[in-house]
A and B are shown apart, each in its own frame.
Chain A
Amino acid sequence: MTGSRDAEFSDFVAARETSLRRLAFLLCQDWHRADDLVQAAVTKLYVHWPKAKAADSVDAYVRAIVVREFLDERRSSWVRRVTLTSQLPDRPAAGTDPETSLDMQAAIAGLPPRQRATLILRFYSDLSVEQTAQVLGCTPGTVKSQTAKALTSLRIAFSPNSDTTRADATSVGSSVAARRADGEEGLNHA
């Protein structure tokens, strides 16, 4: 019984370790922390393995654990969260504007944890609003508003006048972002 559980679990984690580490790294921006996150997540996965197997998708299940582990961590033991370095990527992909790419990556890294997690799930993991809501444990409306806020923040980061205040952005920018995240979402998947 335990042997079967261990074998299945080990096979699954071995196959998914790389993608889980990438997701964790995007969330926390630090490979060492990413490994800690994945370690904690797969331990929880082991505890809940029978339920995970019974779920529609084990991948979705463990992804949700990683994201929630990351968000929960931000609310606990503060010492571990203060990292002293923030390394910028050194090699953007071909065909992209390197400066824009670096700025974008830094801007994404600067988003609040929940907004960053929302963007990563939506635009890296390609989850729908509903799937993202399920992972984050919130309503689809919250996902939309978090997406809108994140896009507004990125828009501010890329605006010509970087001193633009949030107040300026929220009245107009969030409307644009919200329309992008909410109103036009409906037909993008149609």
Chain B
Amino acid sequence: MREQSGEGVPQESIGRALHEMADKEQPQSTVSIQQARRDGRARLRRRRLMRAAGVPVLAAAAVSAVAIGSISLPLGSHAQEPSAGTGRHFGALAPYATFGWLPAKEPAAPSQQTDLATDNTWGTVDRTSEQLNNGPWTLSVYPAGTCQRAGNEIECPNDNPLPGQPNEPADLCGSNVVHAPPVNGRQAFWEHNVNQVTTVKNGQGQSSVSHIRCLTWEYAPGGWASLSNYGVINPSKQLVVQVASKIRFGGRQQSFKFAAQFRNLPGKWRVVPPASFYLFRRVGHELQYMGVQHGALLAQDFAITDGATTIGVDVNVFPSKRTQCVTGNPGCRVINGYHVSVRKLAGTEMISAPDADNLWVSLSGSQQDLGLLYRVFADMTMLGRNPAAWTTHPIAAQSSSKPLPTQSASTSPLPTPSASTSPLPTPSASTSPLATPSASTSPLATPSASTSPAAPA
């Protein structure tokens, strides 16, 4: 049963509306199984031919595309540039790229403007890619040496391939691209798409058009980035180029903040991608998602590993006040002073505290690591919802006073008695010596950037 709230949109209504839409009378199908088999066999034949000829798979894909005659070759015949820094990966302690400038106001519709200063800023860091979003703007960045030019496409690694499928590359900005003016002196390409959008007014759906303008450019030798605008209003090319040219890569980016800290981890643990982060600012007693302004980049989903074991971590600043999980209920127990539920999800074990000092905290790992999850949770320090108390060092220096058992002992499915009776830790700024005032360290937008006038239309 999903939640139904008087506030906002009940999720049952969404499910019901979707089923009503799907259950409408269907026109006769034009899907042809025979055609799929024919086309599929043709593709397999082409692949075999390419392999026999010794052509790499990526090139084969490009050749296949050209063979059906639907794609131009705007990238010309430039020789592929040598890749620099092959093997580089992004880290999970700070974003590699941030917006250096965005227009203060963004047209959201003919009669509306959205304020990017207060729109959500969030992003993800994967092993070989990073994405940053603010309002209609989406930035994707790949480390130098990870993307390849193949024909008219720039193909980058896919961190999330289909299950059981070979890791097929992702295309930056699609494939219908044309040359764009250089960005900071480096080659760049455009793709401009148009989407149909249905908006609701007076109970009626009204069709309109949205524009996706995507700019791909080489921000460093062998390193590629793409900037897309998914706004309703088509942004000018100058505006897109201006935003792209101000993006900051590497260097001194604002570090992620962590709302919980791990203590007494055995061995050498570190934070690794994938990670998701959100920009927050405290307004009064409330936390609000923030746009390009001073705030704290909270790492909400991330992973920690010692090389042999990996634990997924989710520290969400919106706790649940639901009370189903109470002591004595199956799957519920008290660890570190917090009510914790235990469940299995897609082959992994997950323990979660719906309200750990106003945080929703979960740890997940493999079944054999369940005991380790209990013990790691027992030694976690929750830092609450005040960004000033959050830390840039989620893994505290090792202490010898309370060592964790080795992995062989981690198969114990139950927490130790001492863990379940641990006193509630007191979250305060003083327990986090590494936390720094967020405002003074935020390079996400300079004061001048936040007061910059809107770019010329």
Contact A18 B26, beta carbon cutoff 8 Å: yes
Question: Hey, which chain B residues are within 8 Å of A93, CB to CB?
Answer: 16, 19-20, 23
Question: A174 CA to B119 CA in the complex, in Å?
Answer: 10
Contact B31 A167, beta carbon cutoff 8 Å: no
Determine which of A14, A55, A104, A188 lies in contact with B2 in the assembled complex, contact meaning CB atoms within 8 Å.
A188
Contact B203 A109, beta carbon cutoff 8 Å: no
Is B27 part of the binding interface, using a Cβ–Cβ cutoff of 8 Å? yes
Question: A186 CA to B105 CA in the complex, in Å?
Answer: 36
How many Å from the CB of A60 to the closest CB on chain B?
7
Is B274 part of the binding interface, using a Cβ–Cβ cutoff of 8 Å? yes
Determine which of B26, B163, B324 lies in contact with A60 in the assembled complex, contact meaning CB atoms within 8 Å.
B163
Closest to B119 in A: A170
Question: Hey, which chain A residues are within 8 Å of B24, CB to CB?
Answer: 89, 91
Q: When A47-B44, A81-B194, A186-B360 are in contact, do A10 and B3 touch as well, CB less than 8 Å?
A: no
Q: When A26-B21, A187-B322 are in contact, do A39 and B31 touch as well, CB less than 8 Å?
A: yes
Closest to B159 in A: A137
Question: A105 CA to B343 CA in the complex, in Å?
Answer: 34
B332-368 contact mask (Cβ, 8 Å, vs A): 1 or 0: 1000000001010110000010100000101000000
Is A161 part of the binding interface, using a Cβ–Cβ cutoff of 8 Å? no
Question: Hey, which chain B residues are within 8 Å of A22, CB to CB?
Answer: 22-23, 26
Is B209 part of the binding interface, using a Cβ–Cβ cutoff of 8 Å? yes
Q: When A22-B22, A141-B276, A184-B322 are in contact, do A109 and B198 touch as well, CB less than 8 Å?
A: yes
Closest to B210 in A: A112
The binding surface of chain B is classed by DSSP as mixed
Contact A88 B163, beta carbon cutoff 8 Å: no
Contact A175 B289, beta carbon cutoff 8 Å: yes
Question: A83 CA to B360 CA in the complex, in Å?
Answer: 43
Contact B163 A61, beta carbon cutoff 8 Å: yes
Among B81-89, B108-116, B396-404, B433-441, the stretch in contact with A: B108-116
Contact B200 A137, beta carbon cutoff 8 Å: no
How many Å from the CB of B189 to the closest CB on chain A?
14
Contact A188 B1, beta carbon cutoff 8 Å: yes
How many Å from the CB of B144 to the closest CB on chain A?
23
Question: A99 CA to B206 CA in the complex, in Å?
Answer: 15
Which residues of chain B (5-34) have a CB below 8 Å from chain A? 5, 7-9, 11, 13-24, 26-27, 29-33
Is B430 part of the binding interface, using a Cβ–Cβ cutoff of 8 Å? no
Question: Hey, which chain A residues are within 8 Å of B160, CB to CB?
Answer: 133-134, 136-139
Question: Hey, which chain A residues are within 8 Å of B204, CB to CB?
Answer: 88, 106
Question: A21 CA to B25 CA in the complex, in Å?
Answer: 12
Question: A104 CA to B37 CA in the complex, in Å?
Answer: 38
Contact A39 B13, beta carbon cutoff 8 Å: no
Is A4 part of the binding interface, using a Cβ–Cβ cutoff of 8 Å? no
Is A1 part of the binding interface, using a Cβ–Cβ cutoff of 8 Å? no
Which residues of chain A (88-110) have a CB below 8 Å from chain B? 88-89, 91-93, 96, 99-110
Determine which of B18, B159, B316, B319 lies in contact with A124 in the assembled complex, contact meaning CB atoms within 8 Å.
B18
Q: Which residues of B line the A interface, CB within 8 A?
A: 1-3, 5, 7-9, 11, 13-24, 26-27, 29-33, 35-37, 39-41, 43-44, 70, 108, 111-115, 118-120, 122, 124, 126, 135, 158-165, 171, 173-176, 191-201, 203-207, 209-210, 212, 214, 230, 274-276, 278, 283, 286-289, 300-301, 314, 316, 318-320, 322, 324-325, 331-332, 341, 343, 345-346, 352, 354, 360, 362
Question: What are the 9 A-B residue pairs with the smallest beta carbon separation, nearest first?
Answer: A141-B276, A46-B40, A106-B205, A137-B160, A141-B301, A183-B318, A179-B318, A104-B17, A22-B22
Q: Which residues of A line the B interface, CB within 8 A?
A: 2, 6, 9-10, 13-14, 17-18, 21-23, 25-26, 29, 31-32, 35, 38-39, 42-49, 51-52, 54-56, 60-61, 64-65, 68, 74-78, 81-86, 88-89, 91-93, 96, 99-110, 112-113, 119-120, 123-124, 126, 128, 130-131, 133-134, 136-142, 145, 149, 151, 154-155, 157-158, 162-163, 165-167, 170-180, 182-184, 186-190
